Structure 1
Amino acid sequence: MNPFKLLLTIACLCASTAFARQSAETPKQPNILFIAIDDLRPELGAYGADYVHSPNLDRLAAQSSLFKNHFVTVPTCGASRYNLLVGKLPKSTVEIGNMAAVQMISQKEKAERPETFLEKLRGSGYYTVGIGKISHHPDGYVYDYLEPKSDQIELPDSWDEMLFDAGKWGTAHHAFFGYADGSNRNTLKGQVKPYEAADVGDEGYADGLTANLAVEKLKELKGKNQPFFLGLGFFKPHLPFTAPKKYWDLYEEEAIPLAPFSEIPENSSKASLLASGEFNQYALGEEKASLDAAMSEEYSRKIRHAYLAAVSYVDAQVGKVLDELERQGLAENTIVIVWGDHGWHLGDQLVWGKHTLFDRALQSVLMVRRPGKPGNQIEQVVSTTDIFPTLLELAGMPRDLALDGESMLVLMDSPDSATWRDYAYSYYNRGISVRTSRYRLTEYFRKEGKVMELYDFEVDPFQTKNIAAENPEKVEELLKLLEKGDTGLYQKPPADN
């Protein structure tokens, strides 16, 4: 061989080998599987509730950074999800309502709307797929409960694909409020029970169809030559508390614990709580919730049983998706996040629902599994607002937006980090609340004036007594912190109360 050609061949081989070695050593940008679960309070085995059957979420939690004190910014579905998506604290009443994403994103021109983390990921090369409820509307399209599906997407520029299987219910809204016979709360005008245990398979309710869609989509995504973000939104355990009978059968109803405190807290009032209107609109329920008296123990256990059956049902659907992630060989390069959009009172403080500034409504599930990283538990306080910057850092992307949260990666690497903020703000019911590792201070802006409530979780973990009046110095100290989170949301007292 010509000496020049020989040298050229050797050089090419060396360059090829070096490129291959560099490609093997350079990690691929990670895929992200983000699972949003509606109304999932931290009542799982992983959070210490050993009476709950949640083996798949518990297994994932053991491999994850499990956040023990994660609090949402707004205790209602649409606003909590909007906060998740844009990473900013609410500055207008629109941003604490269920139509936040519609009014702030869908109905705005591109230049006028905030950028979602989905847009950021998509603009950086991620293939984004949504299945189910990620924003407020259950299939990602904007239309009313009794209308046919529209073509107006709730999060324009966020998705490459937005998918949903409405099955026998016809539309996502009907599937969201669906029963096993194909009926739904909407067309029956609330003449339904708030629970159901039907002898059907997992596909007898909508979340089974959603899990199946996700399994099939993972098979497709494996073949794509780009990282993916798969957003998966499950409905349960949102009302109605429906699940196949086999999940109800996992529980002995008599053994299910009741709410540890079912009264109006001392020195608080009905104005700080909720009349449980969402729960009571299921008109065929055997009892109505009220702030005047607790429901019977028998019926309370029945509804708690229904909620836990729905949790076990959605746990099984999560398990199917995680198993497929493993089967496709994707788990080793996929970050998995499970997030509950808020908590839920199950008779706590006499409330059956969300929409309060108490921990039962604000505290929810958050776990993040990173490939190759061991699981750990994080006690420090974090906020849903922190998820956007965390996703950017996990994806290796710059933080080039003005966001109100901080990346939680420092905590995931060092749970006892002394530099972490360790508090979270929440807004609702004409109130602003700050949660620290020990206290919750809430300031309500009512017609009669400002009202302060302070709870000490070290001595009162279930918020049974407002101690603001007897601890003015602590109120003054925490008020300085609270004022940092005052975004101007509540400028005036309401016209009526």
Structure 2
Amino acid sequence: MNRPLTLLLSLLSLLPLAGEAEKPNVLLILVDDLKPTLGCYGDEWATTPSIDRLADRGMRFDLAYCNQAVCAPSRFNLMLGSLSTSTGLYGLGMNLRDRFPDAVTLPQHFKSKGGYETVSVGKVFHVGHGNLGDPSSFDRVYKDKVVEYLLPESRDSDISREEVFFELSHLSQDEQTEYLKGKKIGKGAAIEIAEVPDNAYADGRTADKTIELLENYQDSDQPFFLCAGFARPHLPFSAPKNTTTFTPSKSSPSQPSAPRPKGARTMPCETKASKSSTTSPAKNATKKKSSNATSSGPTTPAQAMSPLKSAGC
């Protein structure tokens, strides 16, 4: 969520309908938090045969940059063809229609000007952290999970904080409070590898649904603008075990840290992280023991977010 969002736009991959339609169809693929660590960008360690084949069929852009380092504004800006410096959309909880009620997004333009059916599958707009995305952009929306755990040992609680932020966003404040009553809110694992089929996780289901829609459209004269949004490699790194077989057995190369820009201020969360790293193991152990002894954690999203707000993150 706090890393650049790389967008793989397969607008270049125009899919013809049966019988050569007059209007080209559009498939837009979004991959959350993916940097250009791909074979088609010359990365020697990444194993990405499918996306490399897609790149070979179209045009690769080498100077396309994320204009805001969190999900919601980046996706709004993409769909508006604008920048945060123009829209004022910078944060996760800033809703598009609150600021621009009459804005026309890219899928809305295709729908109103070209008669396209617009469909969203997976994570297209950011829905969570108080953000509702933009349902009016699409005729059909198939939302799926962003934070997902299949193994009980991946949580130290009944539900993780990020699951509260993302997966309960469709509930009202009162409904969330009622749902969380008596539940402990805690942390989730950064990595989960489970012996399950691809579609046990959201990205596999997103792929299956996208394929199903494309197959259905082959027998239709309806032009479509189809967005397929994949959540990984956004944290947590939850994936089927079979995906790990594509990775070489050698260790991942370490990435050099970029130097801090001259004059850049220290973020509050960096200061907190620095203090935490200097805390003695004994104190950490005491804190951990104390927190584990609590039978139930925060029962409202606001309480769950308070440690993050105090850190300025």
In the alignment, the residues of structure 2 paired with residue 194 and residue 276 of structure 1 have an alpha-carbon distance, to the nearest angstrom, of 22
Contact 2:93–2:129 (CA under 8 A) maintained in structure 1: no
2:209 matches 1:213: yes
Find the residue that maps to 1:82 and give its secondary structure: helix
In the alignment, the residues of structure 1 paired with residue 247 and residue 274 of structure 2 have an alpha-carbon distance, to the nearest angstrom, of 23
Contact 1:86–1:115 (CA under 8 A) maintained in structure 2: yes
Contact 1:36–1:233 (CA under 8 A) maintained in structure 2: yes
Q: CA deviation digits over 1:65-87, x for unaligned, max 9?
A: 10122112111100000100111
2:52 matches 1:58: yes
- Which letter does structure 2 place at the counterpart of 1:59? R
Q: CA deviation digits over 1:133-163, x for unaligned, max 9?
A: 11111xxxx7859xxxxxxx63243211111
**Measured at CA, do residues 276 and 33 of structure 1 come closer, stay the same or move farther in structure 2, by a change above 3 Å?**
farther
Match of 2:35 in 1: 41
Match of 2:139 in 1: 160
In the alignment, the residues of structure 2 paired with residue 87 and residue 76 of structure 1 have an alpha-carbon distance, to the nearest angstrom, of 17
Contact 1:198–1:245 (CA under 8 A) maintained in structure 2: yes
Residues 80-229 of structure 1 mapped to structure 2, 5 A cutoff: 80-91=74-85, 94-100=88-94, 102=95, 104-105=96-97, 107=98, 112-123=101-112, 124-137=114-127, 154-164=133-143, 172=144, 175-181=145-151, 185=160, 186=163, 189-229=185-225
Contact 1:275–1:291 (CA under 8 A) maintained in structure 2: no
Q: CA deviation digits over 1:227-258, x for unaligned, max 9?
A: 11001111111000111112223334543100
In the alignment, the residues of structure 2 paired with residue 157 and residue 163 of structure 1 have an alpha-carbon distance, to the nearest angstrom, of 13
Q: CA deviation digits over 1:85-116, x for unaligned, max 9?
A: 1112224785011233x2x32x478xx43111
Shift of 1:126: 0.7
**Measured at CA, do residues 126 and 291 of structure 1 come closer, stay the same or move farther in structure 2, by a change above 3 Å?**
farther
In the alignment, the residues of structure 2 paired with residue 177 and residue 96 of structure 1 have an alpha-carbon distance, to the nearest angstrom, of 22
Which ranges in structure 1 are unaligned for 5 or more consecutive residues? 1-25, 146-152, 165-171, 278-287, 294-495
Residues 461-476 of structure 1 mapped to structure 2, 5 A cutoff: none
Contact 2:93–2:130 (CA under 8 A) maintained in structure 1: no
Residues 360-379 of structure 1 mapped to structure 2, 5 A cutoff: none
Contact 2:119–2:227 (CA under 8 A) maintained in structure 1: yes
**Measured at CA, do residues 223 and 117 of structure 1 come closer, stay the same or move farther in structure 2, by a change above 3 Å?**
same
Aligned with residue 63 of structure 2, among 43, 63, 69? 69
In the alignment, the residues of structure 2 paired with residue 251 and residue 268 of structure 1 have an alpha-carbon distance, to the nearest angstrom, of 39
In the alignment, the residues of structure 1 paired with residue 60 and residue 275 of structure 2 have an alpha-carbon distance, to the nearest angstrom, of 34
In the alignment, the residues of structure 2 paired with residue 271 and residue 211 of structure 1 have an alpha-carbon distance, to the nearest angstrom, of 40
In the alignment, the residues of structure 1 paired with residue 260 and residue 268 of structure 2 have an alpha-carbon distance, to the nearest angstrom, of 10
**Measured at CA, do residues 143 and 84 of structure 1 come closer, stay the same or move farther in structure 2, by a change above 3 Å?**
same
- Which letter does structure 2 place at the counterpart of 1:223? D
Give 1 or 2 for the bigger CA radius of gyration. Answer: 1
In the alignment, the residues of structure 2 paired with residue 267 and residue 108 of structure 1 have an alpha-carbon distance, to the nearest angstrom, of 33
- Which letter does structure 2 place at the counterpart of 1:34? L
Find the residue that maps to 1:232 and give its secondary structure: strand
Shift of 1:27: 6.6
**Measured at CA, do residues 181 and 266 of structure 1 come closer, stay the same or move farther in structure 2, by a change above 3 Å?**
closer
Q: TM-score, with normalisation over the residues of structure 2?
A: 0.65
In the alignment, the residues of structure 2 paired with residue 220 and residue 99 of structure 1 have an alpha-carbon distance, to the nearest angstrom, of 35
Match of 1:257 in 2: 253
Shift of 1:29: 1.1
Residues 352-431 of structure 1 mapped to structure 2, 5 A cutoff: none
Match of 2:13 in 1: none
Instruction: Report the aligned-residue RMSD.
Output: 3.5
Contact 2:25–2:225 (CA under 8 A) maintained in structure 1: yes
In the alignment, the residues of structure 1 paired with residue 233 and residue 147 of structure 2 have an alpha-carbon distance, to the nearest angstrom, of 11
Q: TM-score, with normalisation over the residues of structure 1?
A: 0.42
Number of residue-to-residue matches in the alignment? 234
Shift of 1:121: 0.3
Shift of 1:206: 1.0
**Measured at CA, do residues 191 and 121 of structure 1 come closer, stay the same or move farther in structure 2, by a change above 3 Å?**
same
Contact 1:37–1:236 (CA under 8 A) maintained in structure 2: yes
- Which letter does structure 2 place at the counterpart of 1:157? S
**Measured at CA, do residues 155 and 144 of structure 1 come closer, stay the same or move farther in structure 2, by a change above 3 Å?**
closer
Q: CA deviation digits over 1:304-353, x for unaligned, max 9?
A: xxxxxxxxxxxxxxxxxxxxxxxxxxxxxxxxxxxxxxxxxxxxxxxxxx
- Which letter does structure 2 place at the counterpart of 1:135? F
Find the residue that maps to 2:229 and give its secondary structure: strand
In the alignment, the residues of structure 1 paired with residue 242 and residue 36 of structure 2 have an alpha-carbon distance, to the nearest angstrom, of 22
Match of 1:464 in 2: none
In the alignment, the residues of structure 2 paired with residue 64 and residue 210 of structure 1 have an alpha-carbon distance, to the nearest angstrom, of 23
Shift of 1:268: 5.7
State the identity as a percent.
Answer: 30
- Which letter does structure 2 place at the counterpart of 1:49? D
Find the residue that maps to 2:28 and give its secondary structure: strand
Residues 248-397 of structure 1 mapped to structure 2, 5 A cutoff: 248-252=244-248, 254-259=250-255, 261-262=256-257, 264-265=259-260, 267=262, 271=266, 275=270
Match of 2:298 in 1: none
In the alignment, the residues of structure 1 paired with residue 35 and residue 111 of structure 2 have an alpha-carbon distance, to the nearest angstrom, of 30
After alignment, is 30-39 or 194-203 more displaced? 194-203
